[in-house]
Structure 1
């Protein structure tokens, strides 16, 4: 695998750890040149060899600095993890302005063991098609997906990288005085809040399993809303909601008016929730407000797939749990912007109509979607083991060098979901990000109702 033309690949922030550096090493072995801009102490901790340059200026000045850097270094490609981080939003705009290839990666849609790699952006900014006929046509001609788990890892691997990166940014904040953390909670408060959650995890799981068994055994219809993490940047910058509770109230109000009278609405807490959002109080308040207190339930733990396999329907803002629901044959309503929100798969009716008129996903279309995902914007591997990193990095480098990202066929000229995002008032530009900076980090985040 050798590059036939001069290729200079600029890396911005990657996931905590050495994964970005591993991709760069694979690209160098293929004949490309690579460089890196470190934006914070955590970046420097993960990668600080001769290829690295540090940016210590203000976020507001970042686009002008990056534009000059790309021209001086003759950059041809920009690669980053987490496309809605403000620095990366600006980088995507600079890449478009200068005619550079822009590639972003993230945890995969076909988890476990998969990483997403696509052009330009994800969710609202993804160039992956949303035409069901095209997806069916392309996907049916593709081979079976390798679903064999190969790169499992203990959670401690991910936790050590995450904590090291974030705490380096706290302890050595003065080394990068202009850095703006894309965190809803201060890292120290976030991590301390997890201690009681971990300590009580077994008891919560046991209680949740009993609750799930009771929900299923009553044989009454129920709908599942798996909660996302309030700190998830994809939720904050790829949906129209400032807080998940705003979505929860919209759903509860509609459920109260239009769902079958015997139905129940089950909210499930995310497995990595830090406990800082008082979900029990929030949902109890909302359910009481809309006179459905006895019909709204909260589950904290247990098996989501078990819940989905017996549910009358599921709802999500834009989580990949929506794909789990579709695989379970569960009618699914997407409230935000999601790549898999496609006619024939998810419910395209209004939320009020969903409760009684939703239909199950087309299994042939789902199979075609997953085959096309695997062939075009997914690579096998993981971030947190040496074997998984090297497998993914080699495959990603091969696709970058050969210009096969989003191929075959899954590269639209314009993001097909962006117009919908704009119509909902979703933040889409760097200028929007600057205006929203006041919502980016708080020591605590309290839903006001």
Structure 2
């Protein structure tokens, strides 16, 4: 299809002007672009003649979207965060109408990349998972550049997030029916982070001392890097409603099956807001399973140092897993992750992992990253002028040429979907509209998950 015949509809984007810049690049190549704003934060970052506002209920979104797609002859849909409820509905509608949709996010190969995939990510990714296919594809692809070309200060990202979410919190009335699908009240969340930020340096100093002690444990240890409870990959690409369930699953298995001299270290996410009492939860579960002397919690410090010396790492589906693989650390995934591939991560059960962690195949890892970079990653970022320009140009060229996931990394069906169904993960937008991850933990919520071990 010629570029002049293409009509790209943009839904929500990241808290920056990146989506608008990408649309500008598409229009410079002859396409038409449209935007639907869902909240005041969307409007602030993009309000021009191409944009309209949806102020109805989430329950009525499908009907509105179907009509909009038809009336505007939309040929492609682009959105950020594929499992955001409005986007999950859009994906379902587009599949029914045979309209290509594209999801983008922070890059798997971050910090210098943006992910751009056909349809979705995680369980919905159409990226191959067959090791031999990945090796074959990589033979004709360039090695991945490790040079960071588009750095940006964390302040840029943090300011965008805070500004966007507080706009929606303090000025909700223009879009008062908008469902933001947030786990926490944003004002409460940001206020909770202030003391953590103020104590960060002191906390890191103490944590690095603990890490030095842990690394010297003669019998060895395993690491569980905690994700954020608000992480979409945790909430919609795992069977866990709350991270405490994954923690209990891991501690219970560790208590019953790990060699008695082994230790288990939980590392709190550096951007954790402090609302969830992870240390108290882990201490309670360690006592429950009688391993309190062998389980540790570290808040702060250098995760890479921990991973380099660890016997293995367990995580739900964090992109930290890729960093662990690069450090030759064996990895066991509890949810759905694009890199959970035979030869890279441990494919046996968690109980077996404690005794038999397998080192990742470094040649396969290089091939995997080559295919990633060549098919579903573009260089750049959302938060600097130069980085946005680079990512927008590269993404626009792939969208116009219809080469997202190409060459070769576009399976007919999402290959990880069967695994997600087997794990009991909701895989339809209808189910996912029912908010996951918002359940607050109670004593009864920590009932054992022995039947899953």
Q: TM > 0.5 between the two? A: yes
Normalised-by-shorter TM-score class? over 0.9
- Tell me which residue corresponds to 2:151: 152
What SS does structure 2 have at the residue aligned with 1:128? Answer: coil
- Tell me which residue corresponds to 1:57: 56
Shift of 1:237: 1.0
- Tell me which residue corresponds to 2:274: 275
Shift of 1:423: 1.8
> Following superposition of structure 1 onto structure 2, how do residues 28-427 of structure 1 map, counting pairs within 5 Å?
28-427=27-426
What SS does structure 2 have at the residue aligned with 1:17? Answer: coil
- Tell me whether 1:430 sits opposite 2:434 in the alignment: no
1: CA distance, partners of 2:137 / 2:437: 40
1: CA distance, partners of 2:229 / 2:127: 26
1: CA distance, partners of 2:178 / 2:262: 48
Shift of 1:140: 2.9
- Tell me which residue corresponds to 1:10: 9
Shift of 1:219: 2.8
1:116-165 residue CA offsets vs partner (Å, 9 max, x unmatched): 00100000000000000101111133111121111111111111111111
Question: Are the aligned partners of 1:186 and 1:441 in contact in 2 as well (CA < 8 Å)?
Answer: no
Question: Are the aligned partners of 1:265 and 1:296 in contact in 2 as well (CA < 8 Å)?
Answer: yes
Moved more, 189-198 or 425-434: 425-434
1:313-370 residue CA offsets vs partner (Å, 9 max, x unmatched): 0011010011111111111100000000011111011110111112101111101000
Q: Which sections of structure 1, spanning at least 5 residues, go unmatched? A: none
Shift of 1:440: 6.1
1:349-397 residue CA offsets vs partner (Å, 9 max, x unmatched): 1110111112101111101000000000000000100000000000000
1:374-424 residue CA offsets vs partner (Å, 9 max, x unmatched): 000000000100000000000000000001100110000000000111122
Shift of 1:276: 0.4
1: CA distance, partners of 2:52 / 2:5: 21
- Tell me which residue corresponds to 2:449: none
2: CA distance, partners of 1:288 / 1:399: 53
C-alpha RMSD of the superposition: 1.2
Shift of 1:86: 0.3
TM-score by length of 2: 0.96
Moved over 4 A (4+): 2-5, 439-442
1: CA distance, partners of 2:304 / 2:429: 37
2: CA distance, partners of 1:368 / 1:426: 29
2: CA distance, partners of 1:381 / 1:159: 17
Q: Residues 130 and 447 from structure 1, CA distance in 2 versus in 1: closer, same or farther, beyond 3 angstroms?
A: farther
Question: Are the aligned partners of 2:230 and 2:437 in contact in 1 as well (CA < 8 Å)?
Answer: no
Question: Are the aligned partners of 1:427 and 1:433 in contact in 2 as well (CA < 8 Å)?
Answer: yes
1: CA distance, partners of 2:354 / 2:184: 35
1:166-207 residue CA offsets vs partner (Å, 9 max, x unmatched): 111112211112210121000000100000000100111000
Question: Are the aligned partners of 2:81 and 2:103 in contact in 1 as well (CA < 8 Å)?
Answer: yes
Give the number of equivalent residue pairs.
444
1: CA distance, partners of 2:400 / 2:300: 43
Question: Are the aligned partners of 1:82 and 1:106 in contact in 2 as well (CA < 8 Å)?
Answer: yes
2: CA distance, partners of 1:447 / 1:82: 29
Q: Which sections of structure 2, spanning at least 5 residues, go unmatched? A: 447-453
Question: Are the aligned partners of 1:182 and 1:233 in contact in 2 as well (CA < 8 Å)?
Answer: no
2: CA distance, partners of 1:390 / 1:243: 37
1: CA distance, partners of 2:297 / 2:325: 22
Shift of 1:55: 0.2
Question: Are the aligned partners of 1:92 and 1:102 in contact in 2 as well (CA < 8 Å)?
Answer: yes
2: CA distance, partners of 1:260 / 1:45: 55
1: CA distance, partners of 2:442 / 2:244: 7
TM-score by length of 1: 0.97
